[in-house]
Amino acid sequence: MSERSLQAGPAQRRTVSRLPVYTAKNIFAFIGLPFLAWCLYLVIGNVVMLSMASRATGRVTTILGSGGKNPSPYPLVSFKTATGKEFDIIGNGLSSYEVGDQVEVLYYPGSPKGAKINSLKQLWFFPSIAFLFGALFTYAAFGPTEKILKVIARSYGVKVT
């Protein structure tokens, strides 16, 4: 009973090992670090796209998904590349575009189907969410988790070794 021992007497106190703390830290790190890696991947992709992509003016032709089960409006944007070919892209559901709005589109001349609308919400929302989750879980893994858990354990009468 070296890991857990109960002391006899009127004030029974339990002693627990550090194993649950390290297990929690590993779980938080296992969740947080991939989110931070995904954030880094998205940010690098957006920075490269902003610096190297061609720009075109597009027009919102339709708002998709604005009713029924999916109330988020997804703008369908048509744009022409420098060679004159026309492509359609779908933006994310965070925008407040209306049919007929003009938007700036970023695209690579070699693959215009991967184009993105050049706006704050369209480019940076998902990297921000990935960073938020990654930072919170990673902080929980490598921050003062052990001290916090010790304080909580002691408040319940558990002696932490």
Residue 60, CA distances (Å) to 79, 102, 105 in order: 9, 6, 11
pLDDT score for 57? 95
| 46-86 tens-digit pLDDT | 999 999 999 999 999 988 875 556 567 889 999 999 999 99
pLDDT score for 149? 73
Q: Where are the domains of the chain?
A: 15-160
- Residue 37 three-state SS: helix
| 117-150 tens-digit pLDDT | 999 988 999 999 999 999 999 988 887 766 777 7
Average pLDDT, the chain: 83
Specify whether the CB–CB gap between 14 and 158 falls below 8 A: yes
pLDDT score for 142? 84
Amino acid identity for residue 109 in this structure: P
39, pLDDT greater than 70:
yes
38, pLDDT greater than 90:
yes
| Six-digit token string for 120 | 């704050």
Confidence of residue 37 (pLDDT cuts 50, 70, 90): very high
3, pLDDT greater than 50:
no
Q: Rounded to an integer, what distance in angstroms lies between the CA atom of residue 3 and that of residue 129?
A: 39
